[in-house]
Structure 1
Amino acid sequence: MDRFSFLNAAHTAYFAELYDQYLQYPDSVEPSWRAFFQGFDFGMQQNGVSAETMEEAPVDFQEGEIPEHVIKEFKVIRLIDGYRTRGHLFTKTNPVRERRKYRPTLDIENFGLEKSDLDTKFNAGDMLGIGPSSLKDIVTHLEKVYCESIGIEYMFIRKPEEIQWIQDKLNKNENHPNFSDDEKKKILKKLNQAVSFESFLHRKYVGQKRFSLEGGESLIPALDALIEKAADYGVKDFVMGMAHRGRLNTLTNIFGKSAKDIFSEFDGKDYEQDIFDGDVKYHLGWTSCRETDNGKQININIAPNPSHLEAVGPVVQGITRAKQDRHYGGDNMKVLPILVHGDAAIAGQGVVYEVVQMAQLEGYQTGGTIHIVVNNQIGFTTNYLDGRSSTYCTDVGKVTLSPVLHVNADDAEAVVHAILFALDFRMKFKRDVFIDLLGYRKYGHNEGDEPKFTQPKLYKAISKHENAMDIYAKKLKSSNIIDDDYLTKLEEEYKAALEEKLEDSRKEETTKITPFMQDEWEGFENVYEDEMMKELDTTYKMEDLDKVADAISKLPEDKKFMRKVKKIIDLRNKLYFEDNKLDWAMAEHLAYGSLMKEGFNIRISGQDSERGTFSHRHAIVKVEDSEEEIILHNNIEGREGDFFVYNSPLSEYGVMGFDYGYAMASPQTLTIWEAQFGDFVNGAQIMIDQYISAAEDKWKLQNGLVLFLPHGYEGQGAEHSSARMERFLQLCAKDNMYVADVTTPANMFHILRRQMKAGFRKPLVIFTPKSLLRHSKVISTKEDFAEGSFQPLLDDPKAKAKDVKSLVFCTGKFYYDLLEFKEENDRDDVALVRVEQLFPLPVEKMKKAIKKYKNADDVVWAQEEPRNMGAYGHMLLHFDEAKNFRVCSRKFYGSPAAGSSVRFKKRHEKVIASVFDKTVEN
């Protein structure tokens, strides 16, 4: 009996559908059918037809048992699957040179089919939406969909509904655009603007850096179409990040920045205001309101960025999330992030991977980003084969199973079609999409560079290559959509407008910079150092403080919690309502709660921030049986703000950048990034150098991001001892940030409240404690919280000025080590004065302390860090009297601390001894 006889009776379209399902999702197919298909695949493999690897042993299969026409159907399905999976490797997407060759090809012979099969009709055509069709027509269809100007990678996606959506979309239009004549003219108009703008600058500013878009001009009509259609979807805000390549063109032709201002920047004019230094023209941000063709008002933002490629990526994500939270109740359909990458940068910069990995995480998701790569096929002078190991520069997108479209930048309609496809996918599935815009770079890395030194063959081809506008204009003329007069008028009108703007710019002696996202910062003023030093009222009514304390120290009675959790929360209640001894955790919680009652939001993120690395915070407590998360702050009576705390991925660069962006777009949120240990901040050094310390000077941007950096020498070795305060202090200048090393819960409470109560925003770096979190002396009273204020300098509470012979200035946790020695040895002749705010330095208060202890013939700066680290060098720069200080510290070292706990203890004790005895060498 023929065990496969049933195949003759059934319609092969059913097998086609089932086999297609098996190829994509093997486990979804009924086991007996799966075994049958494995047997077929094994047979094909034995004949050299398939390179697929079997994961399970196939059923016994002998060729000849399955009817020939069924076998052929399966082979056609294999062919279709081959195009879907590998068609992108054989596209016509490279405008200036031959693509690399890949094997095996998609020739039908590689799938067990022959030329004689081309006229045979196969039911597998149903899978493509073209119905039963000849093999010839099926191949033609597949070539149009997968192998022309757009290649698409998507078969690695694991969600059937996403794959089906993509395939339906591809089959519907054969992955080809179908624009009206008016839409085609709009594309031509934007191409003309892109091309004409670059050529105008090339003539007027010979040799000046502009990082032109030439070779990738189709980016401009693509962005224009993206914004127009997204507005129809209901998007209200666009947040974009891009590096320097093509940025000036984008600013002018997409964001509406006046060409006059750009010409002034090329002329090197100074700024109208003297309160900031500014930046080069291709780093500046811009915000504008644009009306779409359909009359919709939208807000578009391009974030300022440094030359550190891809650093702007996480910032854009943070800005986007803040806008979604602040203005749209978390609706990620209202704000769209767009990131424009370079091909070398997206493949080479690790922060891209960090940002991609954040895309679906609760604390960082933004509803999907549209990534566009302006692919020049070269990084400065480095060929792409030397710039990455992956096949494509966009392969990082596969980490999150995001679809990737590869597009020929010379085919303007294909580029616009691809961008609209990407937008549809993002708005449908709220996930990232990548577009690889494959073009070239007409000149060198900058316009004064000679690219033929390193790529002579490539640049010989580029020199003969027509630009995208000329190519498209010929296409429209051949279709009788435009004529020469139309094209001439289009070009001349735009060039005349540029000439007029150039003439206007040369009538003015200065230029001005409009701050990025100024609309988010109404009511906030840029201030100088003297304003930063003014004492601010951070008091808080005791009865309201009681309400906050009550809410954060009571667990829901109807839920079951671990005994340790109950003990922690009960301790909060006891500390506040019985002992009146508030520790560090209570300082944080009461600061957050009081600010929430005043209408501010709180956002904390970092590695293990929910519990706290040192198990002190417990901002989220979990129900024992279900792990339901409880945020007690949200139970505060009369609160007007919300509390958000997130454990971040194991990233510093990306997450700090995200939180910096969040703080930039939400000045009414206390935004905190916490390092697991202070030295982990090293991983985000680019964000600190380029944004936190310099953004206000470069871009006139305020930002209130707070950094919590656990710091203190406790014998843990070279790592996790130092948050490298010397690096932050070296970056301090004029009025760019606050840096503090506070030692009391009350000061922590007030400095956090000051951060939000001020009428301006500055980054705040706080070196936070580890052992002090539970130190018996690190306590404050609720009266200190309710009635006090932040104290940048803390005098010795017990010292009598007339008895003091040695005045010791110190900061942070080291104070308690010195205090212990002082009390054990009854050294009433020594006064320990804490510098709580390291920048701006409380110079006048320090001078008053010296004057107060005028009998002291020994003035000391004491620190636990080596001499070349810590705050000593900062003191020398900012406090003239510091040059006369006796310095007590570890010696100069390359490493922050010793690895041996015994050696650490010896060095630490020696420094302490030297503070109290000047004869001890340190």
Structure 2
Amino acid sequence: MTSQSSPERISRASNAIFEETAFLFGGNAEFVESLYAQYLDDPNSVDPSWARYFAGLEGPTGPSSPSWAQRAQDSGAVAASPGGKASAEDVRLAAQQSVRMIQLVRAYRVLGHFAADLDPLKLSEKAPVPQLDPKFHGFKESDLDTPVFMDGVLGLQSATPREVASRLQRIYCGRIGYEFTHIHDAEQKDWLQRRIEGPEMEVHFTPAGKRAILNKLIEAEGFEKFCALRFLGTKRFGLDGGEAMMPALEQIIKRGGQLGVKDIVIGMAHRGRLNVLANLLAKPYRQIFHEFRGGSANPIGLEVSGDVKYHLGASSDRDFDGNLVHLSLTPNPSHLEAADPVVLGKARAKQTRNNDTQVRSSVLPMLLHGDAAFAGQGIVAECFAMSGIKGYRTGGTIHFVINNQIGFTTSPQFSRSSSYCTDIALMVQAPIFHVNGDDPEAVVHVARIATEFRQLFHKDVVIDMYCYRRFGHNETDEPSFTQPLMYRAIKDHPSTLELYAQKLVSESTMAQGEVQHMVDDFNKRLDDEFEASKSHVPDRADWLSSYWLGFEQAPKSYKRGETGVDKYALLDVGKTLSTIPEGFNAHKTIVRQMQNKARMFETGEGIDWATAEALAFGTLVREGTPVRLSGQDCGRGTFSQRHSVLVDQDTENRYIPLANISKDQAEFEVIDSLLSENAVLGFEYGYSTAEPRALVLWEAQFGDFANGAQVLIDQFIASGEMKWLRMSGLVMLLPHGYEGQGPEHSSARLERYLQLSAQDNWQVCNPTTPANYFHVLRRQIVRPFRKPLILMTPKSLLRHKRCVSFLSDLETGTSFHRVFRDQAECVPGATTVQLAPDDQIKRVILCSGKVYFDLMEAREKYNEPHVQMLRLEQLYPFPEGPLGQELERFPNAEIVWVQEEPRNQGAWFFVRHRIEYLMEKLGRRVRPRYIGRPEYASTAAGLMSQHTAELQYIMEEAMRFDLKIRIEDEQ
């Protein structure tokens, strides 16, 4: 059942659309007509708003406006008086009828789509649209065949109401429903109106074009039927019922190539994916059949988990009339619409690489949706919200909705509140073309218009193809359990191929024998491919090619990498970071910060977190590596620490120091994102997969904000390489630390990332010095492979007097440390404790993150020389080697793990068995003990007093041996 089954809903939509032009309704016709007659006598006698409106109806006129009446008289639409001149009454009647005709035309433009023939199954209850009847606007039966002056509307000088209504019915109420009058931009609306109503309004194809459409339908239907026969009962999520999509996509590629598109990035769910892989991207049928048999998509020897065949991606080049277009289908999980922002990010990266940063017409993102997911998944709205924002726009996306009129077992009236599943696109004033999927020519026609609109106006456009799902949600499902009437109709409904073949035969475009011959030839081809699949062995992996050439698979053991930078390069960047341009009126606090930075570079001491980060970014762009940082308020930084964008206090002009290091530097892009985590993180992940030579970072405003993007983290970032051979160097910056700010802004949920850690899928780090942060960022680029980097970043440590580094810690020869030994005597300004010799150390505290600084202060408070502290700066991959070397130094010490997170959170459950295993390798059967908060359902206490008491208890437990240590028995 479609959304048109509810007359009340249609009525509500009609009223909403017409609300702003209610003055044009028939009930007000007498009033409007009298005003118009008054305007004709004297344009200055009516309100200026009415004068503008009437002027728009009649076009340019002379000073006294009698020319309209003269043109009407010349057209024969006004009867002249016996004296040969139109009387005032004639003019009034002509104005009255013309206004009514304009009302009628507008009604069709606005509401005609509600009366269009869209449902192939014709299950919809057709709600009447009275505004489409000429009589609604005041025409009488006797008026219907009387010419009315049109003045060029619809390309007509005059026409009868009956003729106009017939023409409008053909244009707006056929098998295409055009929805575009919500668009505010006059140029866009005018172009669409002319394209819809003009000479090309008729859906017309040459015999060769019709044969091409037929051929794609044969391929689409033939492939599905072949798979159903050869692999009976196997899930394939077939396109059956929506085959007209295939010639439409072919048209988008062809017309796009003619209009300058060089690359199309495609995203879609599982419905019809195998068909798209086979018949659009030309993935070999034998490979697909090999996967149906249980074979791998990748060559033997690659240590990957793989994925089901209808989640995989592919890429290929298609040549249409000499225009080469590269196609890439992005892999996706079963989380519907989750791949949308990934596609947009990939497209943006490719556009940037092509230097297409203005109109962005060379790379086209194309998203294929299901109707229920398009209306129901919030990430769709987030992607629309990004479409016009400077940091995320891609020049417009073509959205193709495979409208099966059902979502799994849920009918539309239970799955959305809007008239159409596509109403979400109204938020960005995208044109929407509703089309009957049983009319492939109409579907291809709107695909062509959509492509032209996108290339001309660089904004989103939607094709809503009404079709059906011939089988259940998958081929083993029984859909008549829940939709018996729909599936009774589907059972008796001929396929799109059958209907179109009959049409071509009936109009003598083709003979019946020709059609059957094409079908037989294609089936023979599939039979041959099926036989070939029995011995098929994949010989290449779809990765590390094209722009990834030169990159490698990660080695089994990591090297430190050359991440240090020449001192003079650091000072060069530092000079930019500490200089305000002449004439720029910066905030007084910023001026002081700049002065402090200048002193850092003069003395080489006190390098804080934000300065080390800026040096990492600055040295990278200076060396030719682009840097892209996005996130909510990341330009200033949530904690006012970054200030990568300075704002003039008088003019609000912006100055970005890192974009002004040198003339030949790479781009530094810092973007304050929209208030979205899911779509923005997906966008940045997609960007990183298409641009491995850039450092791409996403910063959460607080670490727990990443919870809103958990699907992207689980399904793409953590597992994308193992499932789909898709490397990414994305960096996630997650502010983390317990400072008494309550449960919502304390924890970045470190435990979740550690639980997802396996098979060397990414890196999880918790650095505690600005220098180590500097090196871990640069390490992302200098290595010849890419892995995502999950970084717990600080809040209070951003300005902590002990969380500082020397400039020499960043210079050539220095690098990232996965484990830090106790630096009690190395921290500037620290009141240190003289530690006992290694063999007299009674306790080794292992920890990670901010808690180290709390422990330092506690050790000084209790003056405890027999406690050593080791920091794990990298938790995954677990630093077994360097940690083992450090632990060997303390043969008589117990091992304690201290964390500020609750026991069931943080790193404890991840590290405890690894530490125990490591101690066994060292010949000591010592089990680590836990000191920290007890298990919590929440992440942290909500009261500062409780937080302080808990922290004090942890510090006492860690340092005072005379206190009874409360540790649960691990036996």
Map 1:377-396 → 2, pairs under 5 A: 377-396=405-424
Shift of 1:480: 1.4
Matched residue type, 1:324: Q
Question: Do 2:574 and 2:615's aligned partners in 1 also have CA atoms closer than 8 Å?
Answer: yes
Change beyond 3 A, Cα 1:130–1:99 = farther
Hey, what does 2:541 align to over in structure 1?
514
Q: Does 1:841 align with 2:866?
A: no
Give the match for residue 863 of structure 1. Answer: 899
1:903 to 946, 949, 954: 946
- Compare 170-179 and 654-663 and name the one that shifted more: 170-179
Equivalent residue for 1:727? Answer: 752
Q: Does 625-634 or 587-596 show the bigger shift?
A: 625-634
**Residues 248-299 of structure 1, C-alpha deviations (whole Å, 9 max, x = no match):** 001111101000100000000144233111100010010112222x122221
Per-residue Cα deviation, 1:116-160 (whole angstroms, up to 9, x for no partner): 221011223622122211111110111111110110111111111
Residues 112 and 432 (structure 1), Cα distance of their counterparts in 2 relative to 1, 3 Å cut? same
1:88 to 113, 119, 125: 113
Query: In 2, are the aligned partners of 1:7 and 1:67 still within 8 Å (CA)?
Result: no
CA distance in 2, matches of 1:877, 1:451: 49
Q: Per-residue deviation at 1:827?
A: 1.5
Distance across 2 between alignment mates of 1:24 and 1:470: 51
Partner residue in 1 for 2:793: 768
Q: Over residues 751-775 of structure 1, what are the superposed CA-to-partner deviations in whole Å (9 max), with x where a residue is unaligned?
A: 0010100100000000000000000
CA contact (8 A) 2:143 2:161 kept: yes
Alignment of 1:62-141 (within 5 A): 67-102=92-127, 104-105=129-130, 106-124=132-150, 126-141=152-167
Q: Is the 8 A contact 2:404 2:469 kept in 1?
A: yes
Q: How far apart, in 2, do the equivalents of 1:877 and 1:120 lie?
A: 91
Amino acid of the structure 1 residue aligned with 2:571 = D
Query: What's the CA shift string for 1:834-853, capped at 9, x where partnerless?
Result: 00001001112222222112
| Secondary structure of 1:859 counterpart | strand
| Cα drift, residue 809 of structure 1 | 0.3
- Give the one of 548, 551, 554 matched to 1:524: 551
- Does 2:275 correspond to 1:249? yes
Amino acid at match of 1:905: T
Does the 8 Å CA contact 2:845/2:869 hold for their aligned counterparts? yes
Task: Show structure 2 runs of 5+ residues with no match.
Answer: 1-32, 65-88, 825-834, 920-925
Partner of 1:890: 933
CA drift of 1:913 comes to 1.1
SS in 1 for 2:303: coil
Partner of 1:468: 496
- Which residue does 1:597 correspond to in 2? 622
Q: What corresponds to 1:645 in structure 2?
A: 670
Cα offset for 1:84?
Answer: 0.9
Q: Match for 2:966: what amino acid?
A: E
Change (3 A) 1:85 1:25: farther
The residue identity in structure 1 corresponding to 2:907 is: A
Note closer, same or farther for the CA distance 1:327–1:877 as it changes in structure 2 (3 Å cut). Answer: farther
CA-to-partner distance for each residue in 1:410-434, whole Å, 9 max, x for gaps?
0001000001111111111110001
- CA contact under 8 A between 1:287 and 1:517: conserved in structure 2? no
Deviation at 1:722, TM superposition (A): 0.2
- 1:705-751 Cα distance to aligned partner (Å, 9 max, x none): 00000000000001100000000000000210000000000000000
Counterpart of 2:585 in structure 1 is 560
Partner SS state of residue 421, structure 2: coil
Among candidates 320, 332, 338, match of residue 311 of structure 1: 338
**CA–CA distance in 2 between the matches of 1:855 and 1:921?**
21
2:171 counterpart (145, 166, 170): 145
Q: Does 1:407 align with 2:450?
A: no
Bigger shift: residues 510-519 or 698-707: 510-519
* Matched position secondary structure for 1:767: strand
| CA drift at 1:573 | 1.5
Give the aligned CA root-mean-square deviation in angstroms: 2.4
1:626 and 2:651 are equivalent in the alignment: yes
Q: 1:512 to 1:865 in 2, by over 3 A?
A: farther
Query: Deviation of residue 520 (structure 1)?
Result: 2.1
Percent identity (aligned)? 40
The aligned amino acid for 2:413 is L
Equivalent AA in structure 1 for residue 856 of structure 2: L
Residue type of the alignment partner of 2:193: Q
Q: Secondary structure at the match of 2:939?
A: coil
Change (3 A) 1:117 1:705: same
Contact kept in structure 2, 1:408 and 1:439, CA below 8 Å: yes
Aligned equivalents of 2:692, 2:744: Cα separation in 1: 34
Task: Give the letter aligned to residue 347 of structure 1.
Answer: A
Structure 1 residues 173 and 377, CA gap change in structure 2 (3 angstroms):
farther
Against the structure 1 CA distance between its residues 19 and 494, is the aligned structure 2 distance closer, same or farther, given a 3 Å change threshold? farther
Q: What secondary structure is seen at the aligned counterpart in 2 of 1:152?
A: strand
The within-5 A match list for 1:470-549 is 470-508=498-536, 510-511=537-538, 514-515=541-542, 518-528=545-555, 530-531=556-557, 533-549=558-574
Q: Which of 202, 205, 229 is matched with 1:203 structurally?
A: 229
Where do residues 424-443 of structure 1 align in structure 2 (5 Å cutoff)?
Answer: 424-443=452-471
**What is the rounded CA distance, in whole Å, between the counterparts of 2:34 and 2:869 in structure 1?**
94
SS at match of 1:379: coil
Deviation at 1:597, TM superposition (A): 1.8
Inter-partner Cα distance in structure 2 for 1:228 and 1:522: 29
Indicate the SS of the match to 1:210.
coil
What is the CA-CA distance between 1:801 and the residue it aligns to? Answer: 1.8
User: Using a 3 Å threshold, how does the CA distance of structure 1 residues 568 and 639 change in structure 2: closer, same or farther?
Assistant: farther
Match for residue 875 of structure 1? 911
SS at match of 2:471: coil
SS in 1 for 2:697: strand
Whether the aligned pair in 2 keeps the contact of 1:265 and 1:511 (CA below 8 Å) is: no
The Cα offsets for residues 419-466 of structure 1, whole Å up to 9 and x where unpaired, read as: 111111111111000110100000001011111111111111111111
Alignment-derived partner of residue 662 in structure 1? 687
Report the 3-state secondary structure (helix = DSSP H, G, I; strand = E; otherwise coil) of the residue aligned with 2:150: helix
C-alpha displacement of 1:239: 0.2
The aligned amino acid for 1:727 is R
Q: CA deviation at 1:81?
A: 1.2
Alpha carbons 1:285, 1:516 under 8 Å: kept: no
Letter of the structure 2 residue corresponding to residue 830 of structure 1: V
Which deviates further from its counterpart, 886-895 or 69-78?
A: 69-78
- The alignment partner of 2:895 has SS state of strand
Distance in 2 of aligned mates of 1:541 and 1:138: 77
Which one-letter code corresponds to 2:388 in the other structure?
Answer: Q
Cα shift readout 1:528-549 (whole Å, capped 9, x = no counterpart)? 4x33x32211121111111111
Task: Name the amino acid aligned to 2:550.
Answer: G
Aligned residue for 1:911, secondary structure, equals: helix
Q: Which moved more, 1:886-895 or 1:561-570?
A: 561-570
Tell me the TM-score normalised to structure 1 length: 0.92
Runs of 5+ in structure 1 lacking a partner?
Answer: 34-63
Matched residue type, 2:551? F
Matches within 5 A, 1:715-864: 715-787=740-812, 788-798=814-824, 799=835, 800-856=837-893, 858-864=894-900
Alignment of 1:350 with 2:378, yes or no, is yes
Q: How many matched pairs?
A: 880
SS of the aligned residue for 1:94 comes to coil
Higher deviation after alignment, 860-869 or 173-182? 173-182
Q: Work out the CA distance in 2 between the residues paired with 1:554 and 1:4.
A: 66
Native 8 Å contact 2:862 2:959 kept in 1:
no
Which SS does the other structure have where 1:394 is aligned? helix
Whole-angstrom CA distance in 1 between matches of 2:479 and 2:157: 51
Conservation of the 8 A alpha-carbon contact between 2:703 and 2:745: yes
Q: Identify the residue that residue 966 of structure 2 maps to in structure 1.
A: 921
Pair 622,853 (structure 1): closer, same or farther in 2 beyond 3 Å: same
Q: Are positions 1:287 and 2:315 aligned together?
A: yes
Is the contact made by 1:129 and 1:172 (CA closer than 8 Å) also made in structure 2?
yes
Post-superposition offset of 1:4: 6.4
What displacement does 1:579 show?
Answer: 5.4
Cα gap change, 1:8/1:496 in structure 2, threshold over 3 Å: closer, same or farther?
same
Q: Does 1:674 align with 2:679?
A: no
Contact kept in structure 2, 1:144 and 1:175, CA below 8 Å: no
Are the counterparts in 2 of residues 547 and 637 from structure 1 also a CA contact under 8 Å?
A: no
